[in-house]
Amino acid sequence: MDAHTTLRNAVKLGGSLMVTYGIAFALQVLMPRILGPTNYGQYNWANGFSGAFFVLSAMGLDVYIRKEVAVRREHANEFFGGTLLLQVGLALGLIGAMLWVMRAEGEPPEVQALALLLGTYQFFFRLNAILAAVLHAHEKVDGLSVAHVVMKCLNGGGLVLVLVLGAPLPWLAAPFIGAEVVKAAFLFHLTREHAGLKLRLDVRSTVTALTAALPFFINEAALATNGRVDVSILGLVGNKTEVGYYGAVWGIAGMTMLLSPILSWVLLPMMSRAAASSQEEFTRILRRGLEGVVSVSMPVTLALALGAETWVRLLIGEEYLPAAPVLRLLAPIFVLTYVATVCGSWLMAANRTWTVTRTSLLAAVLNPVLNLLLIPPFLRWLGPAGGASATAITLAICEVVVTVILVSAIGSRAWDVRGLAVLGKTLGVCAAVTAVHLLLGRLGLDSRDLVRGLARLVVDGLAYVSLILLTGAVRKDEVLELVRKVRDRRKPRAASGPPPSEARAA
């Protein structure tokens, strides 16, 4: 794998994601304010409910493609047509199942309509993830970056229009469906042009690919339990207002996951190539990847946790202040998620996919059990946002279990002396900044006042940067080298033949 190509692709994808996440963040702020906790809770419940069903339609193919098509460029043509036909049939069945469950539960007609429409959106979203995986495997991401931005602009503009016009609840799904349909048409064009993707039916190859993708499929379905089913349970056991609280602060916390798609899109193909060529490079990518995600995610997580009340008051309004403790509970989860993502990618590239799958299945069982046990008593003990707090605690427990198991499965190869030193120094700096934050509170910078709360966070940030550079947890020379590589990413490479990945594919 050419590291410079990987860096350029990561920068391109990261640039487009910065734009799309900026639009998404604006929507995450706008929607809760306009809809209020109850209506926003109904929207979040419908979105989580449809997502939990339609995770089945992806069949694990996007992860399988990043792993296998990265080293066998023509492989996608052998199964794509057959799997697409199967996805269409499965989507129709899932729509029917969703309708039956919602009618049995007595959901209001507008919530039923919204969930069914969001199910249609989920089908195209999963299809686009598969098409994007083909482009990632072929290292053709320029058009994909454009597609991300165009899709999010269409989605964001349409959603703002729906909110401003005060359209009925089901209309919230229309911008999502329209944007994904446009994106699907564009990605079909890109995959045909850059990857030579063809629609042909080969039953044997389709069955072979689905069988090989089975562990990825089970893993993805299990992960949906953590990310989707918990919201459905919260809405059924608790109420839709609790879902509104949880969804609103999750929208703030979720912005810390900017790097997650880049890790998924870039890391697995890169690790798969490294595993096929050099075990030393394979381990090096793992260790530096873990070091990098710790360095990047820790300060953002710390800022969310320390300034929970300030962020809620600033971004989504006083109406959601009961959910500030939920944001504080969610904040540490994202460090764990990044570490688990890197370790999971390494294990998959090392052909230990079932290790990842079994771990996800364990979390999938643990999550609903803990939610069912914790939501009712937490609602009684804490009142508003008590159920949301129970769901956040459940998710945190599951992420701790998953991360510990995956890191343990890799063993000593996961961390070297340098990585452990960075981890230890970063945790020490976080503890010191937390002490500074508490001291500032005693000195009068109270988070109950927005201006003072923001001033307190600025001081926290300055303290973090100073300490992180002073302790050497982040190396200035490496930061400058990365900046230099990003700046020079557009310079043409010397014509010394095809990169190793293309030579192997040939």
Q: Residue 496 in contact with residue 63, Cβ under 8 Å?
A: no
Report the share of the chain in percent with pLDDT over 70.
84
| Per-position DSSP letters for 411-436, written without gaps between them | GGGS--HHHHHHHHHHHHHHHHHHHH
Banded model confidence at residue 360, pLDDT cuts 50, 70, 90: confident
Residue 226, pLDDT score: 61
Higher pLDDT, 487 or 106: 106
| pLDDT tens per residue, range 273-287 | 788 788 888 898 899
What is the average pLDDT value for the chain, to the nearest integer?
A: 82
Q: What is the pTM of this model?
A: 0.72
Burial of 368 (0-12, 13-18, 19+ CB in 10 A): middle
Say how far apart CA 214 and CA 234 lie, in whole Å. Answer: 29
Q: CA–CA separation, 226 vs 205, rounded Å?
A: 32
Separation CA 292–CA 289 (nearest Å): 5
d(CA 485, CA 491) in angstroms, rounded, equals 10
Q: Which residue has the higher pLDDT, 38 or 326?
A: 326
pLDDT of residue 139: 67
Tell me, what amino acid is at 176?
F
Helix axes 308-315, 240-253, angle to 10 degrees: 100
Query: What are the tokens at 323?
Result: 């959910």
Q: How far apart (Å, rounded) are the C-alpha atoms in residues 99 and 19?
A: 35
59-68, 168-177, 351-360: which has the highest mean pLDDT?
A: 168-177
pLDDT for residue 239: 85
- Asked if the model's pLDDT at residue 14 lies above 70, the reply is no
Residue 492: CB atoms within 10 A of its CB come to: 5
Rounded Cα gap, residues 45 and 243, in angstroms: 7
CA angle 467, 476, 485 (to 5 degrees): 145
What region, left, alpha or beta, does residue 491 occupy, with left being phi > 0 and alpha being psi -120 to 50 degrees?
beta
* Mean pLDDT on 313-329: 92
494 confidence band (pLDDT: 50, 70, 90) = very low
Residue closest to 316 by CA, chosen among 275, 256, 103, 308 = 308
The more confident residue out of 477 and 11 is 477
DSSP notation for 120-185: HHHHHHHHHHHHHHHHHHTT--HHHHHHHHHHHHHHHHHHHHHHHHT--GGGGGHHHHHHHHHHHH
79 Cβ neighbours under 8 A, 6+ residues apart: 202, 205, 206, 208, 209, 210
Could you tell me what percent of the chain has a pLDDT over 90? Answer: 34
The pLDDT value given to residue 93 = 94
Q: What angle do CA 480, 484, 487 make, to 5 degrees?
A: 135
Least confident of 38-52, 141-155, 307-321, 362-376: 141-155
Taking the domains of the chain in order of start, what are their residue ranges?
A: 3-415, 416-491
What DSSP element (H or E) covers 108? none
Model confidence at 86: pLDDT above 80: yes
Question: What one-character DSSP code corresponds to residue 473?
Answer: S
DSSP 226: I
**Average pLDDT over every residue of 44-72:** 81
What's the whole-number mean pLDDT along residues 97-118? 93
CA–CA distance, 355 with 449 (Å, rounded to integer): 48
pLDDT, one tens digit per residue, over 443-475 is 877 767 888 889 999 999 999 999 998 988 876
Structure tokens at 319: 């109406």
Query: What pLDDT does 197 receive?
Result: 83
Q: What is the pLDDT of residue 202?
A: 83
Rounded to the nearest 10°, the torsion over CA 88, 90, 94, 97 is 130
Whose CA is closest to 61, among 155, 173, 185, 197? 197
Query: What mean pLDDT is predicted for residues 2-9?
Result: 49
**128-144, pLDDT tens digit by residue?**
888 888 887 776 666 67
Of 62-66, 154-158, 308-312, 466-470, the poorest mean pLDDT is in: 62-66
Q: Collect all residues with Cβ–Cβ distance below 8 Å to 434 and sequence separation of at least 6.
A: 302, 306
pLDDT digits 0-9 by tens, 226-264:
666 788 888 888 888 899 999 899 888 877 776 666 666
Instruction: Answer yes or no: is pLDDT of 173 > 60.
Output: yes
In the prediction, which pLDDT does 277 show?
A: 82
* Confidence (pLDDT) at 100: 94
- Give residue for tokens 């994106």: 183
Mean pLDDT within 321-338: 92
Instruction: Provide the H-helix boundaries in 195-239.
Output: 203-212, 214-224, 230-233
The arithmetic mean of pLDDT across residues 165-179, rounded, is 92
Where does the pLDDT of residue 503 fall: very low under 50, low under 70, confident under 90, or very high at 90 and above?
very low
What's residue 16's pLDDT?
53
In single-letter form, the type of residue at position 417 comes to V
Average pLDDT estimate for 195-215? 85
What is the dihedral sign for C-alpha 409, 412, 413, 417? positive
d(CA 500, CA 506) in angstroms, rounded, equals: 10
Which residue in 141, 385, 140 sits closest to 248, CA to CA?
385
